[in-house]
Every structure is written in structure tokens, then in C-alpha cells.
Structure 1
Amino acid sequence: MWADKGFEVASEQFKLPVSTLPVEEAKVTSPVKVSQDAQSIKVAGTGFAVTFDKNTGLMSQLMKDGVNLLTSDGSPKLHLWRAAHRNDDMWANRDWEKFGINNLKNTLVDLTVETVDKCTAKVTSTIKYDGKEGFGAYHISTYTIKGDGSVKVDNKIDFIGLRINLAHIGVRMILDKKLDRMTYFGRGPIENYSDRKSGADVGLYELGVNDQYEYEKPMDRGNHEDVRWVKFAGTGNSMPDFLINSDENLMQFSALPHTDEQMFPVEYKIDLPVSTATVFCLSTKTLGVGSNGCGPRPLDKYMVWSDNSQFTYTIQLLQSK
């Protein structure tokens, strides 16, 4: 026999046409405190604090139980490109370099903070990202921080200049390297993209950041589609866990040991630097893969264009283990 009894030959998932009950938000009773000085704005609650840099408008610290989950340059930032796949090299990457989306420069436009009630504070930052050839974007991020340790982030992206093809519309966070385990509910366990995901079932998966398949030539990898939530944890008890929930539109994410800038252009994986962080990319849209190495680029419905976009995600800081 070519396979043991019980071997799965084929399978298919179907979305059931049933309604789901709306989820009621739990009432938050824990207070938050807003403080600020010339350099920063800080919103703190029991066991956590979120700090924003007044010079950049970016989140500079995401503290839980005295531990900063972000690296020194790890704030959520607008992220529109990827380390080119071999399929991207001949068409997409030329425009990414021409319009500078692989090296956007960010400038603070406005930063405000308000106390909504004793349990809620809201920080809104408007940041302009400039590329080349007149391309750019305004990124308006509204952080609603509650006393239960949740940070809801509403994102509004308004693009400037020519309408071009992008790799992502989303944000990138650079996390502490010790956050090297992820559990998520979405498509997996293998990597999948918008135009090649039907073979990856929706399910609950647990992966190590460093255990994912790595190509001999470094490039973007490890994307997961149709994700409802993802939780990051460290090995042992050295790091607090934290959870990221999507809005009703679902999301795509990857978590890798290197940034796109470190992976491209690099000839071989042995040439990569030693990893110093977990690189978390969260997107509302991700470019398909196509087959341009020997055939066509992605179909139109799998393209990502620089059209104004909105998306929401929520960070939930969890109790230490």
C-alpha cells in the first residue's frame, strides 16, 4: 500500500451560511492615567503603559509588567513593500524602488491626546510618509487605550501622487526577539498568499518564528491570509504575551527574524545578519504572487494599488504567565 489507513487524500473547507451573534464589549472599570512632558505622551494603567514620542508621533514603548515589547525603533509604521520574490523582480520591484516605497521618510504632522473618560484615553497621530517622484501618503492613526490593557488602532491611509502597485497596505512592528512563538487563527500552517491560499485551511496553528521555511535566496515569506487573531509569546516565562485582533475584514500577517531591508538584496541566506528582533507585518491587503518568473503577474483581483484605505486592529496586553 502507498499510504496507511486513515491517510487524508483530499479535503475542502466550506464557509457555513449562518449568522453569528455580535460580540458585546466587556465593560472596562480599570482607570488610565495620562501624563506628558516636552518629549512624550504616556498613557498608563494597571501593569501597562503606552508611550508616544512627541517628535515623531510614533509609539516609542509598549510596556507590560515593566517589559517593553518593542525594540528601540519598533513602533507600528506604514509598510507598503516587501523583499522582492523572484516573481516580483522584473516588474513590481522596479516601481517600488522608483517611487521610494522601500525607503519612506516619515514626518510628524500632528499629535493630540484626550481623556475620553476615566477608563479611556485617545491618542491621534498624523504622519506624512514621503517617497520619490511625488509619491507619498498621510497615515492617521487613532489609538484608543483602555484600562484593561487594550489598544484599538484605527488607521486611515490617504495616498499622494500616481496610483501605483504596492506589496502591502499595512503596518510593521519590530518586536523583542524573545517573542519568538506565535499562535494564530487563520490559514496555515504553510505560508499562503491571496492567489494561493485555497490549499491552506483555516485553523488554529502554533509556529516558531525561526521554524518557518526559509528560501536559499532571502525574500519575503511566511505570509498568512484570513487571520482573525495572532498571539505572540516568549519561550519560558521571560516575556508577557500579547494578542492582536483583526476587525471584521480579517488581516494578513507574517512574523520573521529579519526585516525586508535586511533580506533584499542578499544573494544567499548564509549572508543574512544575526537576527536581533521579531519582525511583525500586519496588512489589510497583500499582493498576490503570480508566476512572473516564467509566466504572468498576479491577476487584477490580487493586485494591491495605492488607493485610500482604512483598517483597524486591536492590541491586547495579556497577564504574565
Structure 2
Amino acid sequence: MYMRIWDIVKVANDPTETRPLILCEYSHAMGNSNGNIHEYWEAIDSTFGLQGGFIWEWADQGLLKDAANGSKHWAYGGDFGDTPNDLNFCVHGVTFPDRTPHPALHEFKYVYQPIKVSLREETIKITNTYFYETTQALEFSWAVHGDGCELGSGILSLPSIEPQSNYEINWKSGPWYSLWASSLAAENFLTVTVKLLQSTRWVESGHVISSSQVQLPAKRDVVPHVIKTCDGTMHTEIVGDIITMSQQNIWELKFNIQRGAFESWKVEGVPVMLEGILPCFWRAPTDNDKGGNVASYLYRWKAACLDNVFFLNESCAIQNKTDRLVKIEVVSLGIAKAEEKPSTVSNKSNILFKVNMTYTIYGSGDVIMECNVKPNSDLPPLPRVGIEFHLNKSLDRVRWYGRGPFECYPDRKAAAHVGLYEKNVSDMHVPYIAPGECSGRADVRWVTFQNKEGTGIYASMYDGSPPMQMNASYYTTTELDRATHNEELVEGDDIEVHLDHKHMGVGGDDSWSPAVHEKYLLPASLYSFSVRFCPITAATSGHDIYKSQL
């Protein structure tokens, strides 16, 4: 039980072992977990003798309890005055106690789906992994999206595929090829969906049993967009420590030189950004982060004071100022602090990070942020490498181009298709019984935050930086760390947003040892990335702004 992938493959490849291998328990589903499950199934699908396993477990074993105010909540060990107890170690299912699915259930459906689709070189291979059924009772359909927008769709006519067999198509001969050939999109994705034609004893007709997405070959090299300085002029005023930049009544930015950060950002008179932009390397610990006692990620993070970092502005200077752009360079030191915020660096050994952030503010309203991070080399693997800022609470409409629509993380995202999605901030929250890091969306190319009138802010990867991990929540990281039950969470006065250049995996091989795979760890090394921000109104869209930089 809980054997690692490399161990089960080793057993299956042992020429003296003739028995099949089934994991009686694996992929411990405690809270935000079940990372690496796709890698288990890549091994199981490709290695003779591996037959699968049993996830621990199906449902969170919480009990419904009445609170003093008459509300009900899911309770666990210790909530009934029981001593001793295992706290929330009974809460490790792929569904909540009422059988509402956790986001990870999408990943399980994906790796278990009987029809697999892959693209290698010019061949699309559709594999029927059933052992006894053909595909005669199934309907195949296709859809092509360019930069998130649907270009076309239709029924995919295929001959019946025998059990344990496959059918190959040259992707250029498919009905989607003409759409790809005429597309101007930087990215084109083909999605193949498989549905049941007839109802069965367990599900109605039309039920999706498989859905796969493959990225079609790129048609051209994407040349990073350069903001043109002739796109607009702006007014700049310096009073004391505050630089105010604005363009008529369209937007206004205030930058605090002493703090080395934005003081405020208004779009059409509406306050959008209330605080930030600041580096961030901490996340609210998950159950898996806590597993392993002194070897756990959480223990090592706290020993290194990663949960208690204050950024001190070492220097802030205006590098360039014209009527079309202002360039500001900020050097910040991330210091392990005591109870009080330090005003100076008293001990260089307390410096955990040195961060260079360069902001170029254009008359068009665009802000290009270039970030270079140098962590102390003695630090353990980092929870995240990114930025944090806070938005007006009214900017609760989130629209993004990336993976979704459900929560996904670097090591649990195979089921999350790349597309255009929209949700309210409140709907992005995943109410895990014991709170922690949650609600992330992986591989985000761009994201907008807007109020009901359409006013807000746009952010995207820029200048060759990879897609981002995005998170937006009414609950601060501190609050997610503090609360022991979801119903204890208290909303903040704004929306806390994280845009991560890199985010550590959630792990899940088990929950009692540090089990995030090495490829999903973030070593304490140099990181560089860029993000583009700009104002957005009802007259524009995130898609149009993104297209302008391709």
C-alpha cells in the first residue's frame, strides 16, 4: 500500500514476478491532495502487470454537528470533546461527507476514462481500453479552440474500435484542419468528447465517459509584443514620496517611493487595486504540507521563517520619466521578522530573499512588471514564487484563459482543459473541511477582474514568461492558515490575488511524509518572470488585450 510509482513499475518488470499488482491503498485524498495521480496511471496503462488500485478514500468521514448559533457544520476528531483524537485524519475522501465531489474527482475520472486520445507527430491515436466492449455504443465529437475561442465543432465519424485496439488519424486529414489552417490564434486545441448513445442501468444517454484535449502544432513563432511608447501620453506628478501618474479620467496610478509599491490604482474613477504589488513565497499549508513531523515541508518552512517574511525597501529609483512612460526600479529584501516590522536590516543572516522589481508604466495604461528573485540558497523548497496584490471587493467577476473550470495545480491538472472560463470569486473557493491552500487555477495565460459595470484590471504572462498559477479569494492566506474549520473563515475587506510564476505541487502519494515529486518542487534558486497589467473597461475584453500582445 502507498507504493511509489517507481516501486510498482520495478515489481511489474521483475521477470520472476508473475502476479498482477493492485494497490490496496494509494493517493491519499486528504484535503487539497491527489497530485501525481496522472503519473501513476501513465505507468499503469503502459506497464503489463499493473492493474490499478484503490484510492483512500471515497468520502470525508466528517459528522454533521449543530453549532451554538443553530448552523450546521462538518465536525471531526476533538469537536465532540473526545480525547485522544486524530483531528481531521478522518477527512480524506474524494467527496465531502454529503458526496459532493472534491475537485480531484475530475482528475480520477480523466485517468480512468476508457477512451484515450493522444497526438504524436502527425498522428492522432484513439485507443479503446475496454477489454470486452467496442465503441459501437459511443458518439465521438470534436471541437477546435483558438486562444480559447471556439473555431468549430462537429461529429467525428469513426469505425467501431475493437476492445484493446486503437484507430489512427493523420491530424491534417481531420474535419478540423481547415479551421486550423485559417486560424490566426497563437494556440489551437482539439478536444475529443465521447458520449453514450443509449441509456444504461447506471447513467442516462449523453453521459460523457471520456474527454481529451490535445494541442495542435503551432503555425508560427510567437514574437513577444513590445508596448509602443506612442500609444498615449500621461500626466506625472511627484509630491513627497508619492508619484501620481494618470491619463485624463481613464486611469490613475499612485506609487509610494518609500514603500516601493503601488499605493492605489483607479480605472474610470473606480479604485481597483488597493495594495501591492508585492513578492510572495508563502502559502496556507495543506494537510500534505504538514505530513512528516520534522521532515515535513511545513516544519522546514517555519524553521526557515518563510511564514514570517517582511519586505523592506532597500532602494527605489526612477530610472526614466517622459510624458509617455515612467520606469521605476525597486530592490526589496525579504527579512525573517520578529513580532514588529523591522525598519532596517540588523542581521544579514535574516535576509531570505533579494527581489528586484522593475515597473514600466506607459501612457496607454499598461504596466510591465519584471521580477528577479534571488533566494537564500539555504532555504528549503519554496511553496510558491510569485506576486500578491489586493483588489476592491466589487471586482468579483473573474475571467481567465487557462486551465479550468475547476481547481487545479501543477501536479493535478491533466483533466483541466485549457479554455476561457468565468466565475465569481466566491464560487472559486473550495470549502475543504480543514482550510488551507485552495482554489488555484493552473497555466493561466491571462486573467481579468471586473465589477458588474465591466471596470477592472487585466493581467497576463509577458515577454516569454510561462503561464501562471492564479488564485483569487475573499480569504487571505493568513486566514486560511488560521482557521481549523471552513465555517470559521472570515472574509477580508478585499480580494487577495496571487499570480505565481511557479507553485509547488500539492502531492498526495501519502499525507504523512513529504511526497511532492521532485519535478513539482521549487528549489531556492534564481527566478525571473514578467507580468503585464492594464486597465480594462466594458468596452474592451481580456481576449482582445491578450491578442494585442501576440
d(CA) in 1 for partners of 2:305, 2:379: 14
- Please state whether the residue corresponding to 1:102 is helix, strand or coil: coil
Q: Give CA deviations for 1:267-311 in whole Å, capped at 9, x if unaligned.
A: 112212233211100101100011141566111000012211100
Partner of 1:53: 256
- The answer to whether the aligner puts 1:201 opposite 2:423 as a matched pair is no
Q: CA deviation at 1:313?
A: 0.5
Q: CA deviation at 1:66?
A: 1.9
Partner of 1:315: 533
Q: Quick one: which amino acid aligns to residue 485 of structure 2? A: Y
Moved more, 261-270 or 3-12: 3-12
d(CA) in 1 for partners of 2:234, 2:442: 34
Partner of 2:460: 245
Partner of 2:35: none
Q: Give CA deviations for 1:92-130 in whole Å, capped at 9, x if unaligned.
A: 111221112222112111111144543221111111111
Q: Quick one: which amino acid aligns to residue 494 of structure 2? A: A
For the pair shown, the structure with the greater C-alpha radius of gyration is 2
| Distance change (3 Å), C-alpha of 1:118 and 1:216 | same
| Residues 203-282 of structure 1: pairs in structure 2 closer than 5 A | 203-212=419-428, 213-234=430-451, 236-237=452-453, 240-247=455-462, 248=464, 249-282=466-499
Alpha-carbon RMSD: 1.9
Q: Quick one: which amino acid aligns to residue 435 of structure 2? A: P
Query: More relative contact order in 1 or in 2 (CA 8 Å, sep 6+)?
Result: 1
| Distance change (3 Å), C-alpha of 1:303 and 1:31 | same
Partner of 1:29: 231
- The answer to whether the aligner puts 1:105 opposite 2:310 as a matched pair is yes
Partner of 2:207: 7
Partner of 2:353: 137
| Distance change (3 Å), C-alpha of 1:309 and 1:24 | closer
| Contact 1:134/1:160 (8 A) holds in 2 | no
Partner of 1:297: 515
The runs of 5 or more residues in structure 2 that have no matched partner are 1-199, 338-348, 540-550
Q: TM-score, normalised by structure 2?
A: 0.55
- The answer to whether the aligner puts 1:125 opposite 2:330 as a matched pair is yes
| Residues 138-177 of structure 1: pairs in structure 2 closer than 5 A | 138-177=354-393
Query: Of Structure 1 and Structure 2, which has the larger fraction of its residues in helix?
Result: 2
Q: Quick one: which amino acid aligns to residue 290 of structure 1? A: G
| Contact 1:34/1:115 (8 A) holds in 2 | no
d(CA) in 1 for partners of 2:330, 2:284: 28
d(CA) in 1 for partners of 2:472, 2:431: 12
Q: CA deviation at 1:180?
A: 0.9
Q: Quick one: which amino acid aligns to residue 278 of structure 2? A: K
d(CA) in 2 for partners of 1:109, 1:76: 16
Q: Quick one: which amino acid aligns to residue 145 of structure 1? A: I
- The answer to whether the aligner puts 1:181 opposite 2:397 as a matched pair is yes
| Distance change (3 Å), C-alpha of 1:131 and 1:29 | same
Q: Give CA deviations for 1:71-104 in whole Å, capped at 9, x if unaligned.
A: 3xx2111111111110001311112211122221
- Please state whether the residue corresponding to 1:12 is helix, strand or coil: strand
- The answer to whether the aligner puts 1:87 opposite 2:288 as a matched pair is yes
| Contact 1:65/1:320 (8 A) holds in 2 | no
| Contact 2:272/2:456 (8 A) holds in 1 | no
Q: Percent identity?
A: 23
| Contact 2:333/2:351 (8 A) holds in 1 | no
Q: Quick one: which amino acid aligns to residue 311 of structure 2? A: N
| Contact 2:280/2:386 (8 A) holds in 1 | yes
Counterpart of 2:270 (choices 62, 67, 73) is 67
Q: CA deviation at 1:320?
A: 5.1
d(CA) in 2 for partners of 1:26, 1:174: 25
- Please state whether the residue corresponding to 2:212 is helix, strand or coil: coil
| Contact 2:377/2:524 (8 A) holds in 1 | no
d(CA) in 2 for partners of 1:176, 1:79: 19
- Please state whether the residue corresponding to 1:75 is helix, strand or coil: strand
| Contact 2:258/2:316 (8 A) holds in 1 | no
| Distance change (3 Å), C-alpha of 1:97 and 1:294 | closer
The runs of 5 or more residues in structure 1 that have no matched partner are none
| Contact 1:107/1:128 (8 A) holds in 2 | yes
Length, aligned pairs only:
317
